[in-house]
């Protein structure tokens, strides 16, 4: 082990380059690249991310070779600058900054002026001829070092500073005289000694070592970890550390500092955008203590410097072929470039910049498509709370369906529907929702639940309908009896207005201004390019003609999932559906089914007409029948009550009858029970009616000149025999209707692949299925053995926290498990039927990472909420781009 190969842990800026981002971090690679391009970057060196990883692997210890390499780099730095650590004539002062591959808030930011001590302080005073400036730098250094490296509460220092100003009778920091600053330095050192139990370190190397270690440690602060979780950044990347000669923007009036974007990151407009401060250090700009000037002001104050900066900005944008986020400092009239990185931008800016860069010939269409984060598009298609509004949220939940909405809080679905139909804007507030709440959800502008996760019923339905939705808002107490919600000390009664932002998860009191989306020409242009690139078709899930219209408007090429059970749930139909389920004989059941037939036919007529010429996958009845009946526990409670009191005997008898039927239908695990194709086999009359309704609608449309393309989908198939049995029941209906109507229509029969056995026997099943549609919600449930209804609340959140799961498998397809089954099903299904149409209609169909996977699998299409269709179009195109990038690596 003693002879392990020596690793290079430290790179001088001139040794690095942009390609070494993994090793040097974003910041380190940026300064290296600028150094190479001959731009004026203060010299320095970068400690690699590998050193950080070694540090953690060794149990938070510096790797053996690290410090020696740092000392060597320091020597080189001293040579380049002619300055030396701890030198009484010309001391070297440095900044120490963290710099991971991806920029991350929550990590150690910056320690400036490192290298100051009593000796170098004197030298610095003499060199600058400004004792006050040198002392101020020293007290700032002690303060930063104490706070950032040693974790001392910043208030300790602020209090001492305030006291000093009071004592001196001055209001602002710069008014403090050198003697007063000298006292303040003493006070700061005393605070340091008291809080840490040791003297403030004098030795610059000691200071440097402390700062480096502190950067390493900041990689794992809870805030940093939480941020990585949110942004899906792996935990094992580690951070680099940048050590760089100090330059001073606060040395005189011909000094200054600033940050600038090469284009406007809010709108994408093509002009420098940023802030500038004369005679200040960078932290002053960031801290917002002093009012900054716009970057254009630099043009008036130092035209030469501004031209030089404009020149660099243009070159960097050209060099990186993307908008840059720059930091610079001017020391006594000399410009120093401190940082360059790709600029973060809003969705709107991202689209506009990408299109502009293509028009300017800087990037290709494919690159433009790759430049926009699909998730950012959501900002452009949903209303959102105006960021400039000064509203404080009263609580926060899981953002489950994007968009903002304001309305009166309503606590049950019936009232939500009643008020909604009366033209009032309502927000439906529940502890959780279930299928019997759907009519209220349709009538509401938004949905808020205090329980549930991103795959709960509320979330699924809301996303499908494009309603803003927040779930799992556990800080919010919903009292359904009192019809109130309470949160953050506030209480909202029914009828009072609230605003929810499903993009952020924030809940506000009253009406908060929102911004409406207006997809721009550039947006359409970019999606047009994406369409030219992608191989996956994008279809949409939708149960109603209005969904179909929205889907077409957003560019959907078909309906991938039309669920029929929501149709059963609508208020005027539910009594017929319930009577059908309560029926004691098949004959009686068929009587009620006959009543449902024209209604269903109308539903299908509408959606097939709206999608004329495009496929519409209609799923036959899927949920367990008891979902259409009243809740069992409520029946138990009500009948126990009536029995105990002896009141309302007729009502009791009636309820007992319903209860008996619910009892006979309810199951310990309804998810794994009598639903899907199993219902079709036990009650074939139900699906015969549905297929008749589909075919009658299609035949009528054909005769009306429309081009209906129904695809009949059997859910929950697990064996070939199920599909054969159901087809034997249903094909005669298809034929009969076509004969009755005297017209033939284009139709398909296919199945969902949503339980593992279907995937495992896909080759067989494909012999009877013209199409597959992956129901990845259910497939994830059964492959993991996780119940969608409970698991997120019960343990998935903890699993994510504890890193047992890297991502929520209900959000992004789990490739090793669920994905492996999908791959197998595609391969064996296509082997058995080469022209098999294969799509995905689970929630994952709208998730960019999952779309990339579907592209890799060679699916025919992904289907998602109509509102996410643009996101999916972009993601599908990016999958092609990523594949090409991979193949050229």
What residues are labeled active site? 457, 841
818 belongs to the binding site for a copy of itself (CB under 8 A): yes
d(CA 148, CA 140): 12
User: Distance between the two ends of the chain, CA-based, in angstroms?
Assistant: 34
User: Residue 193 Cβ, how far from a copy of itself at the closest point, in Å?
Assistant: 38
Distance CA 492, CA 810 (A): 32
- Name which of residues 720 to 739 contact a copy of itself (CB under 8 A): 721-722, 725
Task: Check binding of 684 to a copy of itself (CB under 8 A).
Answer: no
Window 190 to 249, contacts with a copy of itself (CB under 8 A): none
List helix spans (H) across 302-385.
303-320, 347-359, 365-371, 374-381
Q: Which is nearer to a copy of itself, 547 or 622 (by Cβ)? A: 622
Total number of residues that touch a copy of itself (CB under 8 A): 61
Q: Tell me the C-alpha distance between 811 and 348, whole Å.
A: 25
Residue 641 interacting with a copy of itself (CB under 8 A):
yes
The 8-class DSSP code of residue 344 comes to P
- Is 823 an interacting residue with respect to a copy of itself (CB under 8 A)? no
Taking the complex as a whole, the smallest distance from the CB of residue 663 to a copy of itself amounts, in Å, to 10
Nearest distance in Å: CB 590, a copy of itself: 19
In the complex with a copy of itself, the residue whose CB is nearer, 386 or 663, is 663
- Gap between the Cα atoms of 110 and 98, Å rounded: 7
Q: According to the binding rule CB under 8 A, does residue 585 interact with a copy of itself?
A: no
- Provide the minimum distance between the beta carbon of 783 and a copy of itself in the complex, in angstroms, as a whole number: 5
**Which span (225-233, 313-321, 369-377, 643-651) binds a copy of itself, by CB under 8 A?**
643-651
Beta bridge partners of 401: 469
Q: Judged by CB under 8 A, does residue 791 bind a copy of itself?
A: yes
Residue 559: CA atoms inside 13 Å, Cβ hemisphere, count?
Answer: 33
Please provide the DSSP assignment of 652-675 as one string: HHHHHHHHHHHHHH--S-GGGSS-
Could you tell me the smallest distance in angstroms from the CB atom of residue 45 to a copy of itself? 37
* Residue in 338, 716, 869, 881 binding a copy of itself, rule: CB under 8 A: 716
Among residues 190, 794, 831, 885, which is the contact residue for a copy of itself, using CB under 8 A? 794
Q: Does residue 280 interact with a copy of itself by CB under 8 A?
A: no
Give 723's DSSP letter. H
Q: Is 67 in the site for a copy of itself (CB under 8 A)?
A: no
Looking only at residues 618 through 637 of this chain, which bind a copy of itself when binding is defined by CB under 8 A? Answer: 632-633, 636-637
CA 290/CA 277 separation, integer angstroms: 8
Q: Binding marks (x or -) toward a copy of itself, 645..664, rule CB under 8 A?
A: x-------------------
Query: Percentage helix, strand, coil, to 5, in the chain?
Result: 50, 15, 30
d(CA 660, CA 663): 5
Shortest distance (Å) from residue 643 CB to a copy of itself: 7
Rounded Cα gap, residues 360 and 712, in angstroms = 48
714 and 750 Cβ atoms separated by less than 8 Å: yes
d(CA 606, CA 206): 76
Our finding on whether 795 is near a copy of itself (CB under 8 A) is yes
Supply the minimum distance, in Å, between the C-beta of residue 625 and a copy of itself. Answer: 11
Identify which of residues 307 and 820 has a Cβ nearer to a copy of itself in the complex: 820
814 touches a copy of itself by CB under 8 A: yes
Residue 326 Cβ, how far from a copy of itself at the closest point, in Å?
41
Q: Rounded to 10 degrees, what is the CA torsion of 772, 777, 782, 786?
A: 170
List the one residue from 38, 387, 705, 785 that touches a copy of itself (CB under 8 A). 785
Helix (H, G, I), strand (E, B) or coil at 11: strand
Touching a copy of itself, residues 744-783 (CB under 8 A) = 754-757, 760-761, 764, 778, 781-783
Interface pick for a copy of itself out of 719, 727, 807, 856 (rule CB under 8 A) = 719
Position 787 contacts a copy of itself (CB under 8 A) = yes
Q: Is 85 in the site for a copy of itself (CB under 8 A)?
A: no
Rounded distance between C-alpha atoms, residue 79 and residue 45, angstroms? 13
Can residue 76 be called a binding residue for a copy of itself (CB under 8 A)?
no
Q: Closest distance between a copy of itself and the C-beta of residue 633, in Å?
A: 5
Select 89 or 640, whichever has its Cβ closest to a copy of itself: 640
**Nearest distance in Å: CB 621, a copy of itself:** 15
Q: Any contact of residue 153 with a copy of itself (CB under 8 A)?
A: no
Tokens of 377: 């598009």
CB neighbourhood size of 866 (10 A): 27
> Considering Cα of 695, then 698, then 701, then 702, what sign does the dihedral take?
negative
Q: Whose Cβ is closer to a copy of itself: residue 182's or residue 757's?
A: 757
Asked if residue 669 binds a copy of itself (CB under 8 A), the reply is yes
Instruction: Tell me how far apart the alpha carbons of residues 245 and 648 are, in angstroms, rounded to a whole number.
Output: 87
Give the nearer residue to a copy of itself in terms of CB position, either 221 or 719: 719
166 is a contact residue toward a copy of itself (CB under 8 A): no
- Residues 307 and 313: their CA atoms lie apart, in Å, by 10
365: tokens are 């269409």
Residue whose entry in the numeric block shows the structure tokens 């070297």 = 92
Is residue 159 at the binding interface for a copy of itself, with CB under 8 A as the rule? no
Q: With binding defined as CB under 8 A, does residue 599 bind a copy of itself?
A: no
Tokens 């559906």 belong to 577
Nearer to a copy of itself, 62 or 799 (CB): 799
Residue 531 makes CB contacts below 8 A (sequence gap 6+) with 555, 873, 877
In order of 286, 365, 872, the CA distances from 241 in angstroms are: 20, 36, 38
State the Cα–Cα distance between residues 445 and 450, nearest whole angstrom.
Answer: 17
Q: How many CB atoms lie within 10 A of CB 499?
A: 25
Report residue 751 as tokens.
Answer: 């199945």
Locate the DSSP E strands across 332-419.
Answer: 334-342, 384-385, 395-396, 398-401, 404-410
Residue 816 CB, nearest approach to a copy of itself (Å)? 5
671 binds a copy of itself (CB under 8 A): yes
Stretch that binds a copy of itself, among 64-72, 177-185, 668-676, 880-888 (CB under 8 A): 668-676
Task: Tell me: does residue 423 bind a copy of itself (CB under 8 A).
Answer: no
Any contact of residue 820 with a copy of itself (CB under 8 A)?
A: yes
- Maximum distance among all alpha carbons in the chain? 104
Nearer to a copy of itself, 202 or 236 (CB): 236
Query: Which of 233, 784, 849, 883 is close enough to bind a copy of itself by CB under 8 A?
Result: 784
**Minimum gap (Å) between residue 688 Cβ and a copy of itself:** 16
Strand partners, 328: 258, 337
Query: C-alpha angle 540/543/547, rounded to 5°?
Result: 60
Pick from 435, 477, 673, 729 the residue near a copy of itself by CB under 8 A. 673
Report the candidate in 288, 302, 453 with the shortest Cα–Cα distance to residue 788: 453
Residues forming the site for a copy of itself (CB under 8 A): 632-633, 636-645, 667-674, 678, 681-682, 716, 718-719, 721-722, 725, 754-757, 760-761, 764, 778, 781-787, 789-791, 794-795, 798-799, 802-805, 814, 816-818, 820-821
């Amino acid at each position: 082990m003693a002879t392990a190969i020596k690793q290079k842990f430290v790179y001088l800026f001139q040794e690095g380059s942009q390609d070494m981002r993994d090793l040097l971090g974003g910041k380190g690679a940026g300064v290296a690249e600028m150094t190479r391009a001959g731009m004026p970057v203060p010299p320095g060196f970068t400690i690699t991310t590998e050193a950080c990883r070694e540090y953690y692997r060794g149990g938070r210890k510096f790797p053996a070779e690290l410090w020696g390499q740092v000392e060597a780099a320091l020597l080189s730095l001293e040579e380049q600058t002619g300055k030396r650590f701890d030198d009484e004539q010309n001391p070297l002062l440095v900044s120490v900054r963290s710099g991971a591959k991806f920029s991350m808030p929550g990590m150690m930011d910056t320690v400036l002026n490192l290298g100051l001590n009593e000796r170098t302080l004197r030298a610095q005073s003499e060199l600058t001829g400004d004792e006050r400036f040198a002392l101020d730098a020293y007290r700032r250094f002690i303060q930063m070092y104490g706070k950032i490296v040693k974790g001392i509460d910043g208030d300790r220092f602020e209090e001492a500073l305030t006291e000093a100003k009071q004592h001196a009778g001055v209001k602002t920091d710069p008014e403090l005289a050198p003697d007063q600053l000298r006292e303040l330095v003493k006070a700061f050192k005393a605070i340091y000694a008291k809080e840490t139990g040791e003297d403030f370190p004098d030795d610059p190397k000691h200071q440097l070592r402390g700062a480096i270690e502190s950067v390493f440690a900041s990689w794992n602060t809870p805030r940093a970890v939480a941020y990585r979780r949110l942004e899906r950044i792996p935990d094992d990347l580690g951070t680099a550390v940048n050590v760089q000669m100090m330059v001073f923007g606060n040395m005189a009036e011909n000094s200054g500092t600033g940050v600038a974007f090469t284009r406007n990151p809010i709108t994408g407009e093509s002009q420098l955008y940023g802030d500038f401060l004369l005679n200040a250090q960078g932290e002053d700009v960031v801290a917002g203590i002093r009012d900054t000037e716009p970057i254009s002001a630099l043009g008036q104050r130092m035209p030469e410097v501004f031209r030089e900066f404009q020149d660099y900005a243009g070159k960097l944008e050209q060099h990186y072929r993307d908008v840059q986020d720059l930091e610079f400092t001017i020391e006594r009239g000399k410009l120093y470039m401190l940082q360059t990185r790709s600029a973060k931008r809003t969705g709107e800016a991202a689209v506009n910049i990408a299109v502009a860069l293509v028009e300017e010939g800087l990037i290709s269409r494919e690159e433009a498509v790759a430049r926009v984060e699909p998730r950012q598009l959501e900002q452009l298609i949903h209303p959102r709370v105006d960021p400039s509004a000064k509203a404080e949220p009263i609580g926060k939940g899981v953002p489950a369906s994007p968009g903002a909405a304001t309305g009166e809080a309503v606590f049950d679905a019936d009232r939500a529907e009643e008020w909604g139909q009366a033209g009032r804007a309502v927000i439906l507030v529940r502890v959780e929702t279930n299928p019997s709440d759907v009519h209220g959800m349709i009538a509401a502008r938004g949905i808020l639940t205090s329980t549930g996760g991103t795959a709960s019923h509320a979330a699924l339905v809301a996303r499908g309908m494009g309603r803003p939705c927040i779930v799992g808002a556990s800080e919010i107490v919903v009292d359904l009896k009192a019809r109130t919600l309470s949160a953050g000390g506030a209480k909202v009664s029914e009828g009072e207005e609230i605003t929810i932002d499903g993009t952020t998860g924030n809940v506000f009191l009253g009406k908060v201004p929102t911004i409406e989306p207006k997809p721009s020409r550039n947006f359409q242009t970019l999606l047009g390019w994406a369409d030219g690139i992608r191989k996956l078709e994008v279809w949409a899930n939708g149960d109603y003609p209005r969904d179909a219209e929205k889907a077409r408007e957003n560019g959907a090429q078909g309906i991938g999932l039309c669920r029929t059970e929501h149709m059963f749930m609508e208020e005027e139909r539910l009594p017929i559906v319930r009577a059908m389920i309560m029926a004691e004989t098949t004959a009686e059941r068929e009587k009620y089914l006959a009543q449902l037939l024209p209604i269903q036919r109308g539903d299908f007529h509408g959606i097939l007409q709206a999608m004329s010429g495009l496929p519409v996958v209609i799923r036959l009845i899927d949920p367990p029948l008891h979902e259409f009946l009243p809740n069992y526990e409520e029946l138990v409670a009500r009948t126990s009550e009536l029995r105990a009191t002896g009141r309302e005997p007729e009502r009791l008898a009636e309820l007992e009858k319903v209860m008996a039927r619910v009892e006979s239908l309810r199951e310990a695990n309804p998810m794994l029970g009598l639903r899907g194709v199993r219902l079709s086999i036990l009650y074939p009359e139900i699906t015969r009616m549905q297929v008749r309704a589909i075919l009658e609608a299609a035949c009528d449309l054909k005769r009306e000149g429309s081009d209906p393309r129904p695809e009949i989908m059997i859910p929950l198939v697990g064996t070939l025999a199920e599909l054969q049995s159901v087809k034997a029941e249903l094909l005669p209906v298809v034929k009969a209707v076509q004969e009755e109507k005297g017209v033939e229509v284009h139709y398909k029969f296919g199945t969902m692949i949503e339980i593992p056995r279907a995937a495992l026997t896909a080759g067989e099943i494909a012999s009877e299925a013209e199409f597959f549609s992956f129901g990845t919600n259910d497939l994830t449930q059964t492959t993991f053995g996780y119940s969608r209804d409970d698991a997120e609340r019960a343990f998935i959140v903890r699993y994510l926290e504890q890193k047992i799961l890297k991502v929520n498998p209900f959000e992004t397809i789990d490739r090793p498990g669920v994905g492996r089954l999908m791959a197998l099903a595609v391969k064996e299904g296509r082997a058995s039927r080469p022209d098999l149409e294969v799509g995905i209609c689970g929630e994952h169909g709208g998730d960019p990472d999952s779309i990339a996977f579907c592209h890799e699998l060679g699916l025919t299409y992904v289907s998602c909420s109509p509102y996410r269709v643009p996101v999916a179009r972009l993601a599908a195109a990016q999958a092609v781009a990523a594949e090409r990038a991979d193949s050229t690596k």
